[in-house]
Amino acid sequence: MKVQGSGRRILALAALLVLIGAPAQASAAPLIQADDRRPRPRLQLALSPVLGPYSRGEQDCRPRGPVFYCEDGGSFLGAGATFELRVQTFGPLYFHARGLLVGNTHKRPYAVYRGLGGAGFGLGLYARLAFIRAEYLTIDTFGPASYRPPFGQLDEATDAYGHHAGLISGGVRLPFRRRWNAEAWGGFVLGPRGIRTTPREVSVGDRMMVSFLVGAGISFDVIPGSPRKPQPRPPR
């Protein structure tokens, strides 16, 4: 009889806890509301280190005893930084301007140029966690355009780059803190045109270069967007 009485008390206590907790659970709000998302900024500044663009050089292989010995010449692989200034035009559509400066990671005398710099502008669509854009780039190189071709003499070959290119890129980003975002992106660089002059016969001396540009960095909301007005809750 004592066991049955204690069991009844436990059941009564559990029923009381359920009755008390039910209204609290019904009135509890979710931790993250859809309206609590950060509004789109009106002006944003982004900075990231980059890898690219890339231009393949010429290669030649010759026998040396029982093995073949190969040499490359005229290659370019950029590494540096870029910054962007993004201005909201309408909703998720942004106009942006870019500055770019990279150095050639391949060393002379077999590499061409010491680096290049450029500027560009374009349009992009920016969602909360992803973006895509297209832009025009004008570039200029620094350092000599001459290089040592495979098994050739110093400054015996040249590769002259043009000044016009396009960039189509996309990426992802992760907002953190109040006005900061971590970003990773990449895309295809179409151009510039290159004209290679070399004593060797190459398959493509005058060509439109197609390469890549990838980056990972941060962005900052210089001018945040207007906060959304909370919607009134419907009457119960």
Asked if the structure places residue 147 within a domain, the reply is yes
Asked if the structure places residue 17 within a domain, the reply is no
Asked if the structure places residue 7 within a domain, the reply is no
Tell me the pairing of strands 58-64 and 130-142: unpaired
State the burial class of residue 30 (Cβ atoms within 10 Å of its Cβ: 0-12, 13-18, 19+).
Answer: exposed
Asked if the structure places residue 79 within a domain, the reply is yes
C-alpha distance across the termini of the chain, in Å: 47
What CATH number should be reported for the domain holding residue 132? 2.40.160.20
Q: Which residues pair with 110 in a beta bridge?
A: none
| Residue numbers of the domain that contains 88 | 38-59+69-223
The whole-number pLDDT of residue 32 equals: 36
pTM of the model: 0.77
Asked if the structure places residue 11 within a domain, the reply is no
Residue 17 above 60 pLDDT? no
| Count of domains observed in the chain | 1
Asked if the structure places residue 178 within a domain, the reply is yes
Are 83 and 46 in contact, with CB atoms under 8 Å apart? Answer: yes
Least confident of 18-27, 109-118, 200-209: 18-27
Asked if the structure places residue 80 within a domain, the reply is yes
Asked if the structure places residue 121 within a domain, the reply is yes
